[in-house]
A = this chain, B = another copy of it.
Amino acid sequence: MEQDTIIYGKNAVVEALEAGSRTFNKILISSASHADSKIEKIKELAKAGGIVFQFVNIQKLNQLVPEGRHQGVIAQVSPIKYVDLEDFIEQNQAKHASVVILDGVEDSHNVGAIIRSCVCAGVDGIILPSRRGVLINSTVEKTSAGAINHISIIKVNSLVNTVQRLKENNWWVIASDHHAKDNYYDIDYTDMNFALIMGAEHAGISKSLLKLSDFVIKIPMLTNFNSLNVSNAAAIILFERCRQILKAEKRGG
């Protein structure tokens, strides 16, 4: 077994147990925890799955996760399984699939929040570069509220090669860049496979990826303060797509 990963926080642990895609080594619960419904659920799911859980002193938990952010629960689990790009493309060829590419996003909270929005918005995958930005860690998992168990996470060596492979397979490539001319809401997202590229917090999207993009879009603001958080920007674009899909379904029905 590879080295254990830690998951902390009640929701993150419940989500991972329910998703069933991870191997649990052990769950540690603070002996000072009040017996709330989430803790009860964790105990039930652990029992049902034959997973060991232990009540431990809260200091033991604080050693593993600082500042009491663990909410009284820490699980030791197998690392997340990344999905192979070619497998992902093959599995999503026949439908109107979508994937978000994070080009060097550095803040774990942002990555976690983006994955959470992606799952809510029905996005099929997240592509992360292996050498820039954040990969999946405990903070990403916590911030995602367990969403990482409900989406394909693809780790790639080269985003340029990845975008080229997607284009060869008839995916459209959309880059979010605040210098763009086109507005995000003027694209029709309802009838295509697409990859949405979101750039790093300060540097934005690499030029080589901008060049490969079929659409470059911006989120127009009502003020000159043009500085959206990257996870909020991703949510705005992805939920515009949801809005379009739900409106189209309503018209169709």
Question: Footprint of B on A, CB under 8 Å?
Answer: 11, 109, 113, 116-117, 119-122, 143, 145, 147, 150, 183, 185, 219-223, 225-229, 231-233, 235-236, 239-240, 242-243, 245-247
Q: List 11 A-B contacts (CB under 8 A).
A: A11-B227, A113-B229, A116-B229, A116-B232, A119-B225, A120-B225, A121-B223, A147-B225, A185-B243, A236-B236, A236-B239
Please determine whether A120 and B223 come into contact, CB atoms closer than 8 angstroms.
Answer: yes
Please determine whether B121 and A221 come into contact, CB atoms closer than 8 angstroms.
Answer: yes
- Within the oligomer, what is the number of copies of this chain? 2
Q: Least Cβ distance of A223 to chain B in Å?
A: 5
**Alpha-carbon separation in the docked complex, A120 to B220 (Å):** 9
Please determine whether A242 and B222 come into contact, CB atoms closer than 8 angstroms.
Answer: yes
Which among B11, B222, B246 is the interface contact of A220 at CB below 8 angstroms?
B246
Q: Least Cβ distance of A117 to chain B in Å?
A: 5
**Complex interface: chain B residues within 8 A of A226 (CB):** 120
**Alpha-carbon separation in the docked complex, A232 to B121 (Å):** 12
Please determine whether A240 and B243 come into contact, CB atoms closer than 8 angstroms.
Answer: yes
Closest partner residue, chain B, to A202 (CB atom): B11
Known: A109-B109, A185-B243. A116 touches B222 (CB 8 A): no
**Alpha-carbon separation in the docked complex, A231 to B229 (Å):** 10
Please determine whether A227 and B185 come into contact, CB atoms closer than 8 angstroms.
Answer: no
**Alpha-carbon separation in the docked complex, A220 to B245 (Å):** 11
Q: Least Cβ distance of A38 to chain B in Å?
A: 10
Known: A220-B242, A222-B245, A236-B239. A231 touches B113 (CB 8 A): yes
**Complex interface: chain B residues within 8 A of A122 (CB):** 221-223
Closest partner residue, chain B, to A107 (CB atom): B109
